[in-house]
Amino acid sequence: MTFDDPVGRTLEALAKLLAVIGGLALTGVALMSLYSVVMRNLVGAPIQGDFELAQMGCAVSVAAFLPFTQLRNGNVFVDFFTQRASARTKAALDGLGALVVGLALGLIAWRTGVGGLDAVRNQETTMIMGLPIWYGYAVMTPSIAVASAAAFYGAWRHWALREVAESEERS
Amino acid sequence: MGGTAIALTLFAGMLALMAIRVPIALAMLLPGAIGYVALAGWPPFSNYLKGLAWARLANYDLTVIPLFLLMGAFATQGGLSRSLFAAASALLGHLRGGLAMAAVIACAAFGSVCGSSVATAATMAKVALPEMMRHNYSGRLATGTLAAGGTLGIMIPPSVVLVIYGILAEQNIAKLFAAAILPGLIATAGYCLAIAVYVRLFPGHGPASERVGLGHLGRAMIDVWPIATIFLIVFGGIYGGWFTTTEAASIGAAATFLAALLRGELTRPKFFECFYDTAVTTGMIFMIFLGADIMNAALALSQFPAALSGFVRELGVPPVAVVAGILAFYVVLGCVMDELSMILLTLPIFLPTIVGLDLFGLPPDQKLIWFGILVLMVVQIGLIAPPVGLNVYVINGLAKNVPIAESYRGAVPFLITDLMRTTLLLAFPPISLWLVKVLVP
C-alpha cells in the first residue's frame, strides 16, 4: 500500500520508526536474556531481576508494534458473511470497523496515560530492580495513541477510496 | 436480566459486529465494554482500563510470543526453508508423490524453528510450489499438501497457539510443547501416508522424479545442520532445565538470526522486513488479547462460565462426550471465526467446565495439557477446512492458475488424517501425556 498524502506518509514513517524501535527493544530483550543465561549457567551470576527487564521490554515493543499493525490493516476480521457484498459496501464497512478501532484505542490510550500518572504519583516500581513502572507507561501511551491515529486515518481512507474500490471491481 | 441472559446478549452483539466486518478484537471489546459498564458501572471499568495495557503487555510469559515470532521471521526471511526442502527432496524425490512428502517433512522441520502456521505454509510454498509444478504435480495435490503441511508449524514446538493456550489455562509451556511432539510426529507421518495413498489411487497427480546422486544428497544434508542445532539448543535447554521458555525463545531468535546471516540471504531490507512481519503479527495477536480480555472480564462479572460449568455437570452426559462436543463446536465456529480469536474468547468460558469433569481420572493440570493438544488439533483443522481455511487461501494466492475449489479438494486427504488423529488423541490421553512425564518430571 502506498500513501500519497502528507498525513499518510507521516503516519507511515512514524509507524515504521516505532516498529523498528519495538524490534530493537525485542532484540535487546533477547540479547539480555542470552547474557543472563550464559552468566547463570557458567558463573552462577545471572542479571538480578532479568525477567523484569524482559517484561518492560516486551511491553514497550508490543505497544510500539501496534501502530504498524493498524496501518497495514493487520486486524483479523470475518469476511464470510459479506462475500457477496459490493466492493463499495465492503470499503464502507471496513471504514466503520477502523473507526471503532480508533475510538477504542483512543480510549485505552487515554486511560493508560492516566494509569501512568498514577504510577508516577504512587512511585510504583518493579520488585527486584526497583525500576519505576511509569517508564513503561511513558512509551506505551504515545504508541497506543499513534495506533489510534493510524486507525482513524485508515477509516478515512477506506471511506474516501470506496469509489475507487467500486471502479476497480467493475474493471 | 440475569447474568446468563446478559452473557448471551453480549455474544449476540459480538457475532453481529463480526458479521459486518468489524475486526474481531473490537467485536469482542465493544460488547465487553458495554457489558462491563452495565454490570459494574463506569468508574470500575475506567479504573480497570487504566491498568489493562500494562497488565496485558508487560507479562513475562507473553514475551515468548513476539520472541518466537521474531525467530520465525528470521528463519523465513533468511531462506532456511530452501535448504530444508532441498534436503528432504533429495531424500524422497524419486518416490511417487515424493516431492509432496518432502514438502511435508520440510514443513515439520521448519516448524521446529517457527511457531506460526501461515508463515510456515507461505515460506515453504515459495520454495516447493515451483519445484512441484516443474515436475508436473497437479495443482490440487501441490496446494493441498502445502496448506496442510503449514499447520505443522503450530504443531511442532515452538507453537504460538500453544503459548497462548498455556497462558490462558495457566499451564507450563514447556510441558505443553513436550505434549505436542508425539502428536506432531504422528501428524507428519499421517500426511506422508495420505500422499502415498492418494498418488496410488490417482497416479497422475504426483509423478516420481529422478533419483539424485549420493554426493548431492550429502551436501543437501550438511546444509540443514544449523536448523537442527538451533532446535537442539532451544529444546535441549528447556528440558535440560538450563533456561526458561522466554530465555529459550531469546536464544532461538539470536541463533536463527545468526544462521540466517551466515546463509548470506539476510540483507538489510530483509532484516527490517523481519521487524515489520513481527510487528504486524504481534500487534494482531495482542489486539485480540485486549478485546478478549475485556469481553472475558464482562463475562466473568456475569458469572456465565461458572453457570455453564454447573449446567454441564448436571446434564449427566459422559465427560468425553462433552469434550468431543466442545471440539465439534470449535470446528463449526472455526468456519466463520479466526481460530486464535476463537480460543482466546472461549477458553476462559470452557476451562472451568473441563476442570470440573472426570476425564480418565487425570489430575487437573494433565487434563488441561491434554485438552490443549486437542484444541491445537481443532485449530489446525480450521486452518485447512472450508469455507475459510486460512492456509488454503494463502497457498492458493501464491499458486497461479489453481482454482480455490481445487485447493480445498487437495486438502481433503489431509483433513481425513486430521480427524483420525484427533479421535485417537481424544481416546488415548497417554499419547500426549507420556512425553511430558519423560521430559518434565
Per-residue pLDDT tens for B168-210? 898 999 999 999 999 999 999 999 999 999 999 998 888 888 8
| Residue carrying C-alpha cell 523465513 | B76
Which residues, in sequence order, are CB contacts of B378 under 8 Å at separation 6+? B327, B330, B331, B334, B339, B422
Cβ atoms B373, B183 nearer than 8 A: yes
In this complex, the residue of B25, B57, B276 whose CB is nearest that of residue A63 is B57
- Which chain A residues are Cβ-neighbours of B50 within 8 angstroms? 111-112, 114-115, 118
Chain B partners within 8 Å of A77 (Cβ): 18, 21-24
Output the pLDDT for position A70: 93
Sign of CA pseudo-dihedral B49, B54, B59, B65: positive
Task: State phi, psi for B440 to the nearest 5 degrees.
Answer: -120, 75
Question: A122: which chain B residues are within 8 Å (Cβ-Cβ)?
Answer: none
CA distances from A22 to A16, A62, A67, A109, B5 (A): 10, 7, 11, 17, 42
- 8 Å CB contact of A100 and B70: no
Distance CA B441, CA B437 (A): 5
- Angle formed at CA A30 by CA A28 and CA A35, multiple of 5 degrees: 95
**β-pair partners for A132:** A125
Residues of A in contact with B25 (CB under 8 A): 75-76, 101
Residues B90-134: tens digit of each pLDDT:
999 899 999 999 999 999 999 998 888 888 999 999 999 999 999
CA distance B255 to chain A (A): 10
Q: Which of B15, B24, B26 to mutate to test the interface with A (most CBs of A within 10 A)?
A: B26
Q: In this complex, do A104 and B52 lie within 8 Å of one another by their Cβ atoms?
A: no
Chain B partners within 8 Å of A23 (Cβ): 70, 274-275, 278-279
pLDDT confidence bin for B282, thresholds 50/70/90: very high
**Do B417 and B194 form a contact (C-beta atoms < 8 A)?**
yes
DSSP string, B331-363: HHHTTTS-HHHHHHHHHHHHHHHHHHS--TT--
Rounded to an integer, what distance in angstroms lies between the CA atom of residue B29 and that of residue B51? 16
Is B20's CB within 8 Å of A82's CB? Answer: yes
Tell me which residue of B176, B206, B183, B85 sits closest to B417, measured CA to CA: B183
Contact A37 B26 (CB under 8 A): no
CB contact under 8 A, B58 and A58: yes
Q: Which three cell numbers stand for residue B59?
A: 507479562
- For B424, counting Cβ atoms within 10 Å of its Cβ (0-12 exposed, 13-18 middle, 19+ buried), the class is middle
Q: Which of B46, B234, B244, B280 is the best residue to mutate to test the A interface, defined by the most A CB atoms within 10 Å of its own CB?
A: B280
Q: What is the mean pLDDT of residues B380-397?
A: 88
pLDDT band with cut points at 50, 70 and 90 for residue B429: very high
In this structure, the number of other CB atoms found within 10 A of the CB of residue A1 comes to 9
CA max distance for chain B: 75
Which of B14, B30, B47, B54 is most worth mutating to test chain A (most A CB atoms within 10 A of its CB)? B54
| Per-residue cell: B327 | 471440539
Q: How far B379 CA lies from chain A's nearest CA (Å)?
A: 15
Could you say which residues of chain A have pLDDT below 70?
1-2, 169-171
| Cβ contacts of B272 within 8 Å, gap of 6 or more | A20
Cis peptide before B363 (omega within 30 of 0): no
Query: Do B382 and B330 contact (CB within 8 A), yes or no?
Result: yes
* pLDDT score for A2: 67
pTM assigned to the model? 0.90
Closest C-alpha among B218, B198, B163, B144 to residue B402: B144
Residues contacting residue B69 through CB under 8 Å, at least 6 positions apart: B115, B116, B160, B277, B278, B281, B282
Percent of chain B with pLDDT over 90: 57
Place of cell 514447556: B174
Residue B24 pLDDT exceeds 70:
yes
B236 closest CA partner among B120, B157, B150: B157
Q: Which helix (H) or strand (E) holds B260?
A: helix B245-263
**Three-class SS of residue B23?**
coil
Beta-bridge mates of residue A125: A132
With an 8 Å Cβ cutoff, are B23 and A66 in contact? no
- The C-alpha atoms of residue B119 and residue B280 are separated, in whole angstroms, by 12
Distance of residue A102 Cα from the nearest chain B Cα, in angstroms: 10
pLDDT score recorded for residue A141:
95
- Report which of A72, A56, A58, A54 is spatially closest to residue A16, judged by C-alpha positions: A72
How many residue pairs from chains A and B have C-beta atoms closer than 8 A?
Answer: 205
Is B287 within 8 Å of A69 when comparing Cβ atoms?
Answer: yes
pLDDT tens-digit series, residues B128-162: 999 999 999 999 999 999 999 999 999 999 999 99
Helix then strand then coil, in percent of chain B rounded to 5, is: 80, 0, 20
CB B254 within 8 A of CB B237: no
Q: Which residue among B29, B284, B336 sits closest to A104, beta carbon to beta carbon? A: B29
B14, amino acid identity: M
pLDDT of A160? 86
Contact A26 B278 (CB under 8 A): yes
Length in residues, chain B: 441
Residue B437 gets which letter from DSSP?
H
- The pLDDT value recorded for residue B416 is 96
- Among A111, A125, A143, the strongest candidate for a mutation testing the B interface, having the largest count of B CBs within 10 A, is A111
User: Cβ B49–A136 below 8 Å, yes or no?
Assistant: no
Pick the residue of A12, A17, A77 with the most B CBs within 10 A to test the interface with B by mutation. Answer: A77
d(CA A36, CA A52): 12
Taking CB atoms and an 8 Å cutoff, what residues of chain A touch B254? 30-31, 34
Distance (Å, whole) CA B56 – CA B441: 30
Dihedral sign, Cα of residue A51, residue A54, residue A58, residue A59: positive
Q: Which residues in chain A have Cβ-Cβ distances shorter than 8 Å to B20?
A: 81-82, 93, 96-97
In this prediction, residue B309 has a pLDDT band, given cuts at 50, 70 and 90, of confident
d(CA B45, CA B39): 10
Please name the member of A23, A41, A56 whose beta carbon is closest to the beta carbon of B278.
A23
Please calculate the CA angle A26-A146-A143 and round it to the nearest 5 degrees.
30
d(Cα A68, Cα B277) in Å, to the nearest integer? 10
pLDDT per residue as tens digits for the range B315-344 = 888 889 999 999 999 988 887 778 888 888
Which pLDDT tens digit goes with each residue over B200-251? 999 888 888 888 888 888 888 888 888 899 999 999 999 998 888 888 999 9
User: B66 and A61 in contact by Cβ < 8 A?
Assistant: yes
B45 secondary structure, DSSP code: H
- Distance CA(B341)–CA(B354), nearest Å, equals 19
